[in-house]
Amino acid sequence: MAAKKLDAIIFGATGFTGKYTVLEAVSVLKGLSWGIAGRNQDKLQAVLREMGAKSKTDLSQTPIVIADVNNEASLLEMAKRCRIVVNTAGPYRFFGEKVVKACIDAGTHHVDVSGEPQYMETMQLRYNDLARERGVYVISACGFDSIPADMGVTFIEKNFDGVVNSVENFVHMGVKGGTKGTGSAALNTGTWESAIYAIANRSESVDIRRKLFPERLPKFQPALKARSPLSRAAEVDNKVILPFPETDRSVVMRSQRFLYEQDKKRPVQMQAYMTYPSWFAASVVVLFAAVIGIMAKFSFGRELLLKYPGIFSGGMASREGPSEARMERSFFRMTMKATGWPKSEQLAETTDQYSSPPTKTLTVRVTGPNPGYGSTCVALLSTAKTILNESDKMPSTGGVLPPGAAFRATSLISELEKYEHGIKFEIVANK
């Protein structure tokens, strides 16, 4: 007799992100049937013991599925065992596509925490039509990249009461009480490796986007210009800003394009920045980024970056990942300032241009603890749960979509706000 289909399987459960996803699953997936998957039975059992002890829950009866990215038959079997695969096995550039393909073949949904634009856009290019045909949702960027930013724009549009022209997002990351005694690492090497390959292959994006979006979006005025690096932003207490190198902007732009093409909604322009307490702190980051950017272009340079993550990240990445103390005290805060026009000035057609400058602003704050492995894991599981419970509120019958396009009409935001390691969305100023 075939085993009963599980609601969800966490794949890559023995990895750093996978382990903490298992921990958060105890609360987020309560009431659903879920299992874990990976290559090694002993390691998977060890994760259940460790995370069971941490969550004071007996996880010993949690189903274990053996699946390996190098064995496509095992991936297909895993996908057939559940309604959705929660994929934490990165770098997705190397390991993601086989899992996506297995899910589509099995008619099973798929979510992951990729922050790799080339992977996400290639999946959309190759599998969007097939996923729609099979009634399968494939959604990436379901972690810190890029749920806070993409759903933040959705939250802004729901509350703006008018037409949004642009959003500027200022991201602050911190550790409550400072980093003393917590170790300097904020990332594990899997996340570091994904970032290195994304930087190394940035030029691929142009070619992928040309194929994915053969038609350019119309230009909307006024255009949102990027601010100068190392300038100060009044919106965040005059902190020094640098462009945010993460994938938030590319994910938001994909959501906005989808909504323009499907619903003829005027696309929101967006820029994202990191904030720093001083010019010196920001300059050190620029120096490290420049060295990494040059080294990542060459295979020898990449080898060194991957071999010595601690040195080249200034201690930010390590094989062990962040300490428990560091994770418990880490947090992020996004200040998102939107400008646009009130409802009274709404134009008849989406493509019409405004002749007057924007007169309305809305500032929103998005906050959460432990962006790397707390909020990220809760967000990932919340997206999986939302697909299982609210697919009737999602676009079409399926497809390879960014979160803002997929979850716009669902209750994902209120789902995220329920949990200790969830993400909060609030209005700070409305003028």
> Would 336 be classed as within a structural domain?
yes
Q: What integer pLDDT is reported at residue 1 of this predicted model?
A: 45
Helix, strand, coil percentages (3-state) for the chain, rounded to 5, are 45, 20, 30
Say how far apart CA 270 and CA 248 lie, in whole Å.
9
Cα–Cα distance between 70 and 72 in angstroms, integer? 6
Q: Return the half-sphere exposure (C-beta side, CA atoms, 13 A cut-off) of residue 56.
A: 0
Does some domain include residue 289? yes
Domain of residue 201, residue span: 147-430
Task: Determine the pLDDT at residue 184.
Answer: 66
At CA 351, angle to CA 338 and CA 164, rounded to 5? 10
Asked if the structure places residue 43 within a domain, the reply is no
Domain-located, residue 126: no
> How far is residue 277's CA from residue 274's CA, in Å, rounded to a whole number?
10
Amino acid at 112: D
pLDDT digits (tens, 9 = 90+) for 65-82: 999 999 999 999 999 999
Show the tokens assigned to 32: 């659903």
106 inside domain: no
> What is the pLDDT at residue 69?
97
Is 348 part of any domain? yes
Residue ranges of the chain with pLDDT lower than 70?
1-2, 179-182, 184
∠ CA 132-134-137, rounded to 5°? 55
Please write the tens of the pLDDT for every residue from 93-122.
Answer: 999 999 999 999 999 999 999 999 999 999
Spatial CB neighbours of 350, under 8 Å, sequence gap ≥ 6 = 260, 264, 265, 266
Specify the pTM: 0.95
Phi, psi of 264 (to 5 degrees): 55, 35
Count of structural domains, the chain: 1
Instruction: Enumerate residues 6+ apart whose C-beta is below 8 A from 35.
Output: 6, 8, 9, 10, 62, 63, 64, 65, 81, 82
How many Å apart are CA 25 and CA 19, to the nearest integer?
Answer: 10
> Does the residue 322 lie in any domain?
yes
| Total Cβ atoms within 10 A of residue 147 | 30
Residue 29 lies in a domain: no
Q: Which residues contact 182 (CB under 8 A, 6 or more apart)?
A: 175, 322, 323, 325, 326, 329
